A and B are shown apart, each in its own frame.
Chain A
Amino acid sequence: MNAVLLAILVLPLLAAGALWSIPAAIGDRLAAAYGSVISGLVLIGSVLLWPQNGGWFAYGPQDLPETQIDVAWIPSLGVRFHLGVDSISVPLIVLTALLTFLCCLYSLKITPRIGRTRSLIALLLVIETGVIGTFSALDLVLFFVCFEIVLIPMWLVIDIWGDHHDAAGRKRAANTFVLMTVFGSALMLLGFLLVQRVAGTLDIVELTSSPVAGGHGIPLVAALLIAIGLAVKVPLWPLHIWLPDAHAKAPTVGSVLLAGVLLKLGTYGMIRILVPVLPDATATIAPYLGAFSTVAIVAGSLACLAQTDVKRLIAYSSVGHMGFIGLGISTLSPAGLRGALFANIAHGLITGLLFFLAGAIKDRHDTSDLRTIGRALYARLPRIAALLTFACLASLGLPGLAGFWGEMLVLLGAYNPAPWLPRTTFLVFMVIAGLGTVLTAAYFLRLVRNLCQGDPAENPPAAFAVDLSRIELVTWAPLITLTVLLGLWPGLLLQQWVAL
């Protein structure tokens, strides 16, 4: 299994390098097919990694991850090249591989207007390496390095292939994204270094088995720095200001990866590092984390009600959903953490689908402004409109679809948080978050009403109103299937985390 892990990490990187060495003229034509093959192989590899039993993450002292690679890298700084996967990381790795594969597949037929497909695919592959590396790093510095690998490629994706109507806007969006994230990750690095100063190691396995005790002083500062750094990535209110622009201006594949995968780096970091390595300090900041998450849920939903741009609306809905995940983590309870992990995957699938759909609508109307697109999509693009309705229902947490279980478990966790947390506070959070789900339902139903319903006679069809194309169906089918499957059979994932 070690070879597989190393292979899915290195293969996309080497493939990207190889792609860049092909002349642009040939490369642009072959890139999408080539990228689909490579990311397909990575997807197969990632599924092979699926743990057979509960996996490592038992928070227990002796268990080690089944699959790991551990070699010294920079001895004088205490940095090791330590990789490993367990039942927490593998589902996220599979999600990453799946979404990258679907993005490459989608690019076979549908690419941003500016072209340069060769570089776009190569950058997607580099992003894949960075994300999988982050999900499998078991050394704090390696985690940090992989966390940063993603930045410049994503910056380029937004800056070059972003919204072609608004060059200044996409540049600003790309810069805001990369600069805020880099500042956040620098703060996170400071936190890691404080951990190293106290504990004398950067190894996540060692740190998990003998965590840094103490809820004040240096551990608290370290936890705060790490939490702020990761919160920029999540993003947690009020650090979310980079998100709406970045998502709205990015090309479809960029938005899908950004929302589906990159946001998970933050929540994964919290679950993998913050909670087990600094348990006492995390308990100290957990109520504040919960409070900001709750604000994020409400603020995200309210912002959605005011949006007139379909991509911005979905972007803001991510703020709300990520708020749920943050709240789940802050409860520090098994139910909450499991809910957060489940919501991570569900949000990746559903929001990925939503951004694909938003991209499809945007491509057909050459705008993502709801007022310009008009209404009555049911009549003009019946299949796409039906899928949009399905995705909206999944996203607002309809029972029986994937979005439901994560948020329900989070609310359950907030009802019964870890015993050392103030229960009353979390009960309040639970009530407000429950209110948030109502708001979520409100803005998604408003979206469906404003976009899909209406009198077709009043809304003239767009010039190229082709309904669902074959490539779109093929690309979206796995997401739709998994959304239904996880909704009907949540145990598929939840049983992975029984040891939590």
Chain B
Amino acid sequence: MGGPVTLTWTDWQAIAVPLVLALGAVAVLLVDSFWKSASAELRHTVVTLLTSVVILFGLVFVWARRDDFMPAFCRPAVEGPAQCSLVFEPLTAGLWAVLLIGGLGVVGLSAYRLLAADVPIGEYHFLLLSALTGATVLAGARDLATLVIALEVVSLPSFAMVALRRDRRGSEGAMKAFLVSVLSTAVMLFGISYLYGVTGSLYLSTIANRLNGLDPDLARVAFAAGLFVIVGFGFKIAAVPFHAWLPDTYVGAPIEVTTFLAVVSKSAGVAGLLVLVTSGIAPDGSQLRTVIAILAAVTMTVGNLAALRQVEAVRLLAWSSIGQVGFLLAPLAVDNAQAVVGYLAAYVVVTLGAFGAVAVVQRHRPAGLLTDYRGMVRSEPGLAASLIFFLVVLAGLPPGLAGLFTKFAAFQAVIDGHLGWLAIVMALNVMIGLAVYLRWIAELFRLPADAPFSVDIETPAVTMISLCTAVAAVLSVLPSIMFALAT
């Protein structure tokens, strides 16, 4: 016998959701390709329904098993408890819920007559579900190889989605995102190879254990390696200074795809980084946390300051989403999963709503300038009220209590983590962020307008935006829902 017995075991339920999402992706593609006889509307509806059912299955599963612990692809470790490649635990449940809700929202906003007619729906939903598969795996991943592969499964469909419209702006945006992503993957793999070299393992738990007992020289190497991994993630979530690709990509893509990038893709990146931090790659007191904290401060400041100068709605949302990532990184730097997931939940809901509202306006006024929104409180009171609510939540001021309390939780995490300087930077950014959103809100309120925006809004858009408003309102009154996600 002699050597160790290699023995792996898996709780298959842990991978039920990614598996169903992947099968759903294939099914959607097949339905669309082999059922050309049906009308576009029928095919679109069926594909949308199929995709929604698959995602809803995931949500129901997450809800039913939210308190469970289910490991997959495990093997005994040399030291400590068994090491697993994928784990479903309460934190995973929270992240999956956020990701799936984001995905479902994007599907709803891509309903028939909302999605541009030249976007092939089969491919679109296939890519969306594939990316969601990657995102769910990423949030459950517990070894570096799974992490990288899952991240690629999120990223590759995203570029394809950006380029789906096949015009020049789309291709340019996709190309930029693709090149940056390849670069970031290379950087990350480089870091991972060093981490493996230093610790001899790819499992996060084992790496975390062995990092403690490292001798100082190797610890320096491990720090550099961790830095590379974080930089890799920094590209994916567009943390400053790795953000340059984001605004052009957001503007170039069809707006539904932009929504997807801002909601699912970004949340997946944050989830991956959160997994890394909570599993102990950057333990308390490590310099990596300081790096993340600095990244947070720079990201929110640059994002908000740049957003202050934008005159196009999508560009403003693009830059302000960079600012929001900064706020997400702040509690992440002190390993406060509850604050991160809560923030992510509020961000996802209102970003869906805001992009949904922008899509409505942009379908009729393609320029997408902030001035297009002038006087909307009178001409489109419902849409304007919703949009104002979403923006106020993003700014974190009443009546957007969902945003206020998630920002509060972030502040609390940072103060408890003894990062006073970061808290001051965050306070400054609350002010700058408010200035960003107030410019837009002021346009909505400005009367009288020359040609106020007023159209017959498509029913699915009305439904989705109302739904987002309702959810954001509920989260504002009962914020504890958001913070219960990760515990």
Contacts and interface: CB of A to CB of B under 8 A. Distances in A.
Q: Do A and B bind each other?
A: yes
Given A77-B483, A145-B401, A179-B434, A189 B392 contact: no
A152 interface: yes
Interface stretch (A52-60, A192-200, A262-270, A396-404): A192-200
A197 B408 contact: no
Interface stretch (A68-76, A88-96, A104-112, A332-340): A68-76
Interface string A249-274: 00000000000000000000000000
Contacts of A203: none
Interface in A151-193: 151-152, 155-156, 159-160, 171, 175, 178-179, 182-183, 186-187, 189-190, 193
A24 interface: yes
> Interface of chain A, helix or strand or loop or mixed?
helix
A149 B338 contact: no
Contacts of A194: 415
A116 interface: yes
A151 B431 contact: no
Contacts of A187: 424, 427
Interface in A392-413: none
Interface in A219-239: 221
A84 interface: no
A145 to B, nearest CB: 6
Interface string B431-452: 1001100100110010100000
A148 interface: yes
Contacts of B409: 77
Contacts of B378: 24
Interface centre among A73, A119, A151, A152 (most CB of B within 10 A): A152
Nearest to B409: A77
A74 B405 contact: yes
Contact of B411 (A76, A145, A152, A193): A193
Contacts of A281: none
B483 A76 contact: yes
Interface string B383-423: 00000000010000111010011001101100110001001
Contacts of A436: none
B286 interface: no
Contacts of A24: 378
A190 B404 CA distance: 14
Contacts of A77: 405, 408-409, 412, 479, 483
Interface string B474-486: 0000011001100
A130 B411 contact: no
Given A149-B399, A152-B398, A183 B484 contact: no
Contacts of B438: 155, 175, 178
A141 interface: yes
Nearest to A179: B431
Interface centre among B408, B426, B445 (most CB of A within 10 A): B408
A183 B415 contact: no
A76 B423 contact: no
B411 A183 contact: no
Given A141-B408, A148-B397, A183 B427 contact: yes
B473 to A, nearest CB: 12
Interface string A132-159: 0000000001000100110110011001
Given A76-B338, A179-B435, A182-B430, A145 B442 contact: no
B428 interface: yes
A130 B398 contact: yes
A183 B428 contact: yes
B392 A152 contact: yes
Nearest to B388: A152
B431 to A, nearest CB: 4
B487 interface: yes
Nearest to B486: A76
A315 B427 CA distance: 28
A194 B419 CA distance: 11
Interface residues of B, number: 36
B151 to A, nearest CB: 30
Nearest to A187: B427
Nearest to A150: B398
Contacts of B415: 190, 193-194, 197
Contacts of A114: 447
Contacts of B428: 183, 186
B398 A149 contact: yes
Contacts of A182: 397, 430-431, 434
A156 B443 CA distance: 11
Nearest to B487: A76
A183 B424 contact: no
Nearest to B400: A152
A169 B180 CA distance: 44
A25 B235 CA distance: 52
Contacts of B405: 74, 77, 79
Contacts of B447: 114, 116, 160
Contacts of A190: 411, 415, 420, 423-424, 427
Nearest to B415: A193
Contact of B412 (A73, A175, A186, A193): A193
Nearest to B399: A149
A182 B403 CA distance: 14
A74 B427 contact: no
A193 B398 CA distance: 19
Given A116-B447, A155-B438, A148 B430 contact: no
A152 B196 CA distance: 52
Contacts of B445: 156, 159-160
B379 to A, nearest CB: 11
A148 B438 CA distance: 15
Contacts of A189: 408, 411, 427
A159 B442 contact: yes
A119 B445 CA distance: 10
Contacts of A171: 442
B338 A183 contact: no
Contact of B397 (A75, A76, A152, A221): A152
Contact of B416 (A79, A175, A197): A197
A30 B415 CA distance: 49
Nearest to B429: A186
Nearest to A129: B398
Contacts of A175: 435, 438
Nearest to A189: B411
A316 B434 CA distance: 27
Nearest to A13: B399
A197 B334 CA distance: 15
Nearest to B435: A179
B376 to A, nearest CB: 13
B434 A145 contact: no
A196 B414 CA distance: 13
B370 to A, nearest CB: 14
Contacts of B442: 159, 171
A196 B435 contact: no
26 contacts: A74-B479, A74-B480, A74-B483, A76-B338, A76-B484, A77-B409, A77-B412, A116-B447, A148-B397, A149-B398, A149-B399, A151-B397, A152-B441, A155-B438, A178-B434, A179-B434, A179-B435, A182-B430, A182-B434, A186-B426, A186-B430, A187-B427, A193-B415, A193-B416, A196-B412, A197-B415
Given A178-B438, A193-B412, 7 more contacts: A76-B338, A148-B397, A151-B397, A175-B435, A183-B427, A186-B431, A193-B411
Interface of B: 338, 377-378, 392, 397-399, 401, 404-405, 408-409, 411-412, 415-416, 420, 423-424, 426-428, 430-431, 434-435, 438, 441-442, 445, 447, 479-480, 483-484, 487
Please give me the 4 A-B residue pairs with the lowest Cβ-Cβ distance, nearest first. A186-B427, A183-B431, A193-B415, A149-B398
